[in-house]
Amino acid sequence: MREKTPTAERLSEKAPVEEILPATPVESNGAQGEPLPPPSAASKSLKKQKEKNPKGKEGKEGGEELTTAQFAQGTTPKAPPTPFCSIPSPFCSMESGRRLRQLLTDLHLPTVRACYEQVAGQAIREQLSYERFLLELLEREQEVRHQNRIERLLRESRLPREKTLESFEMNRLPLRVRQQVHSLLEGSFVDRRENLLAFGNPGSGKTHLLCGISQHLVRCGRKVLYTTSALLVQELLLAKRELTLSRVLKRLSGFEVLLIDDLGYVQQSREEMEVLFTLLAERYERGSVLMTSNLPFSKWESIFKDPMTTAAAIDRLVHHSVILELNLSSYRMQEATRSTQQAIRSQRASTAGQDGAAA
């Protein structure tokens, strides 16, 4: 009989046998008595699936049955992606909210900063995806920026806001001119650097029509500048005397369309017409010029004071140009006539009513 070693005595005194040996019985591998290997991840998943769905049916009451291929590969079916609505709002934290607003301010996204909480609430209610949530924010930002840009272009254009195509009586124009106007609204003539010249009697609507076309171009994102010929000539002449004419011409070249109104209404000196010719030569095939005049080309020598300068100016304007001939009666005279006739009819109706009451 063997004597206990000191090590065995210490073990028997400090801990019972159950604490030293594993409590789980070891299964034997057949007749050899070898222990089985630990269960794999696939077998554990299969066991869990059977516990959840003991009948082996698919449906709402039980999970999906593990296929043979999944069991062999040791994989389990992936859970469906978590919808947007089940995720806590990232904007609920005050610290993250302050940080987000600061970042949107630094990135110059004021519209996103103003409406991201509202759009986030909408995304949660409607269960929108992350991409749709981001698309909604950026579309709102782009729309506001577009409106602000159009407003800025209208302000810089100096166009009369009341002279729009909606307020212009298109039925007064001949059919050929109406067709020309509809084709001009596409704006392709600006891309080709073509000019647009409108001729007609005073009051025929030349200025109103070209201003309406110009406003339409601005709302399409074009840079337009409106000025009268008298103010433009004075600005160019002053720049020439101050030796800054090249700077002014460079600034004017930044506009895709230059609308010069009322050429020929005011008689200009030779020096003034020389600077105007310089501008026309500078914009030739570089930018579109829209111009109104009550004088036909045959009388333009009285404007430029010199046959050679007149021919050169006409040649640069007519080449690559569209000409609108508005040989119409004065719109102002028609309006005045209608107003007078309406006042006469109202006066007659009032007089007849007073006579009937006296009788």
> Does the reported pTM lie above 0.85?
no
Decide if 315 contacts 285 (C-beta within 8 A).
Answer: no
Per-position b or e across 202-232, b if 16+ CB within 10 A of its CB: ebbbbbbbbbbbbbbbbeeebbbbbbbbbeb
Q: Which of 50-64, 222-236, 338-352 has the lowest mean pLDDT?
A: 50-64
Q: Which residues are registered as beta bridge partners of 34?
A: 29
Residue by residue, DSSP assigns 17-66 as HHHHS-SSPPPEEGGGTEEPPPPPHHHHHHHHHHHH-TT---SSSS-PPP
Hey, where are the domains in the chain? 85-156, 158-333
Q: Does position 193 have pLDDT exceeding 80, yes or no?
A: yes
**Is 44 a residue whose pLDDT tops 50?**
yes
B/e letters for 319-356, b = 16+ CB within 10 Å, e = fewer, are: eeebebebebeebeeeeeeeeeeeeeeeeeeeeeeeee
Give yes or no for a contact between 268 and 233, defined as CB atoms under 8 angstroms apart. yes
pLDDT digits (tens, 9 = 90+) for 286-303: 999 999 999 989 889 888
Give the model confidence (pLDDT) of 128-176 as tens digits. Answer: 899 999 999 999 999 999 999 999 999 999 999 999 999 998 988 989 9
pLDDT at 73 over 70: no
- Confidence band (pLDDT; 50, 70, 90) for 21? very low
d(CA 18, CA 31): 26
Q: Which residues contact 311 (CB under 8 A, 6 or more apart)?
A: none
Question: What pLDDT does 330 receive?
Answer: 67
User: pLDDT confidence of 333, banded at 50, 70, 90?
Assistant: low
Q: What is the rounded end-to-end Cα distance, in angstroms, of the chain?
A: 155
Copy the structure tokens of residue 104: 């949107």
DSSP tag of 265: S
155 or 11: which leads in pLDDT: 155
Instruction: Identify whether the C-beta of residue 309 lies closer than 8 Å to the C-beta of residue 273.
Output: yes
Average pLDDT on 271-285 reads 92
**Residue 204: φ, ψ to 5°:** -80, -10
Q: Which residues contact 340 (CB under 8 A, 6 or more apart)?
A: none
pLDDT of residue 305: 83
What mean pLDDT is reported for the chain? 79
pLDDT of res. 110: 93
Q: Angle at the Cα of 231 (from 247 to 329), degrees rounded to 5?
A: 135
Instruction: Please give the DSSP secondary-structure letter assigned to residue 88.
Output: P
135-140: list long-range contacts, CB under 8 Å, 24+ apart: 137/112, 138/112, 140/111, 140/112, 140/115
Q: For residue 306, what pLDDT band results from cuts at 50, 70 and 90?
A: confident
Binned at pLDDT 50, 70 and 90, residue 349 comes out as: confident
Q: Whole-angstrom Cα distance, residue 248 to residue 12?
A: 106
In the CATH hierarchy, which top-level class contains the domain 158-333? alpha beta
Residue 195, strand partner residues: 321
Mean pLDDT of 69-86: 49
